[in-house]
């Protein structure tokens, strides 16, 4: 279609002052590309965070800047998208949504609310879109809330976020059991557990002040991000007599990183989704061919001058080094990998 521009309009446009953007667009290193998958919709849902993928549907939880302890009584939205980023359905959950995972055994969506206190869990059936609300039988023993979720060998584990004590001798990861719509928890990892430092080999006593996101490694171990502590904790064989705990101090060429989320690439073909919460944007990161098993983390790195940069980078679990592949984000949060074909 041809567009005709009148001279008077050109004169008006020439006098307009368009303010420059305050944030440099994200930049990808050679071999990677970055583009927008979807953006917030002001007045409906903002501040994207956790991302979950089920078949060819993508679910993104929006925090809206609401109270992370749920004391404002507001609700958050979880938006269902297709592979192209088109919104299909919006779920509303009471409280501040943070953790969002697909249960691989039931194919239901688990959404955790209120990571700073007064937590509740909503389980969503994506086929019927029915929601079931679950409450905790007792206040969290660490004084905060629950954040992320992992499923391992038929069991569900929650990260115990926002601990109210320092040193933290309360649970940092709990195992959940259900009776009706009530949840009881037992400790799977203490905040002051003894761990082996993978970099130095020394035995150290943890003091986990910011348990946050969790994921499973390709070896079926639980990897916990203690965000504010700039470290990852690897829990091997949880609940068994030979359980082991490793701690991985994080580093990066751009400064000390605080990681928010980590994923392990499951397939050669696909793309990474990452939510830049203050930027109200979910980005798509592509590579011509991914290496299955490679770990990537979303983080904010701060140098000695106090300058910080949001990034996504390759994670080396043996050294804790995060090598940036895309930089220029505000504050990266949730991540997920979307397969674009079925592996043989």
List residues bridging with 184 in a β-sheet: 177
Q: Which of these, 132, 101, 139, 100, lies nearest to 118 by C-alpha position?
A: 139
Per residue in 194-233, pLDDT (tens digit) is 999 999 999 999 999 999 999 999 999 999 999 999 999 9
What was the pLDDT predicted at 8? 40
Give pTM, 2 decimals. 0.91
Q: Which helix (H) or strand (E) holds 131?
A: strand 131-136
CA distances from 138 to 100, 143, 179 (A): 22, 11, 13
Q: Tokens in use for 9?
A: 């309009």
What was the pLDDT predicted at 167? 97
Respond yes or no on whether the N-terminal peptide bond of residue 326 is cis (omega within 30° of 0).
no
Q: Which of these, 80, 91, 87, lies nearest to 54 by C-alpha position?
A: 80
Mention every residue, 6+ apart, whose C-beta is less than 8 A from residue 318.
198
Q: Tokens in use for 284?
A: 């798509």
What was the pLDDT predicted at 23? 57
Per residue in 28-37, pLDDT (tens digit) is 999 999 999 9
Q: Indicate the length of the chain as a whole number.
A: 344
Contact 207, 191 (CB under 8 A): yes
One digit per residue, the tens of pLDDT, for the chain of length 344 reads 444 433 443 333 333 343 444 457 899 999 999 999 999 999 999 999 999 999 999 999 999 999 999 999 999 999 999 999 999 999 999 999 999 999 999 999 999 999 999 999 999 999 999 999 999 999 999 999 999 999 999 999 999 999 999 999 999 999 999 999 999 999 999 999 999 999 999 999 999 999 999 999 999 999 999 999 999 999 999 988 889 999 999 999 999 999 999 999 999 999 999 999 999 999 999 999 999 999 999 999 999 999 999 999 999 999 999 999 999 999 999 999 999 976 55
What was the pLDDT predicted at 24? 77
Contact 326, 253 (CB under 8 A): no
What was the pLDDT predicted at 105? 96
């Amino acid at each position: 279609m041809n567009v005709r521009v009148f001279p008077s309009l050109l004169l008006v446009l020439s006098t307009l002052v368009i303010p420059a953007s305050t944030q440099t667009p994200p930049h990808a290193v050679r071999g990677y590309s970055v583009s927008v998958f979807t953006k917030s919709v002001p007045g409906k849902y903002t501040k994207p965070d956790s991302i979950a993928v089920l078949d060819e549907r993508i679910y993104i939880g929006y925090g809206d800047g609401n109270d992370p302890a749920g004391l404002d009584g507001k609700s958050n939205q979880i938006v269902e998208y297709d592979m192209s980023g088109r919104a299909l359905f919006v779920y509303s959950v009471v409280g501040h949504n943070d953790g969002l995972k697909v249960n691989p055994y039931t194919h239901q969506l688990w959404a955790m609310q209120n990571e700073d206190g007064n937590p509740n869990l909503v389980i969503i059936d994506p086929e019927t879109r029915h929601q079931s609300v679950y409450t905790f039988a007792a206040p969290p023993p660490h004084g905060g809330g629950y954040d992320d979720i992992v499923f391992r060998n038929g069991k569900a584990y929650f990260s115990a976020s926002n601990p109210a004590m320092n040193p933290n001798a309360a649970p940092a990861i709990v195992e959940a059991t259900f009776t009706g719509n009530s949840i009881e928890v037992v400790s799977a990892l203490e905040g002051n557990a003894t761990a082996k430092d993978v970099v130095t080999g020394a035995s150290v006593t943890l003091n986990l002040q910011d348990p946050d996101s969790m994921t499973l490694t390709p070896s079926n171990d639980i990897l916990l991000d203690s965000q504010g502590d700039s470290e990852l904790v690897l829990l091997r064989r949880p609940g068994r007599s030979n359980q082991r705990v490793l701690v991985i101090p994080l580093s990066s060429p751009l400064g000390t990183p605080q990681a928010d989320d980590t994923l392990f690439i499951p397939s050669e073909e696909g793309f990474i989704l990452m939510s830049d919460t203050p930027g109200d944007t979910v980005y798509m990161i592509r590579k011509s061919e991914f290496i299955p098993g490679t770990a990537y983390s979303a983080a904010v790195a701060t140098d000695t001058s106090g300058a910080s940069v949001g990034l996504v980078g390759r994670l080396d679990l043996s050294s804790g080094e995060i090598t940036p592949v895309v930089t220029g984000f505000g504050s990266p949060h949730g991540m997920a990998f979307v397969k674009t074909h079925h592996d043989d």
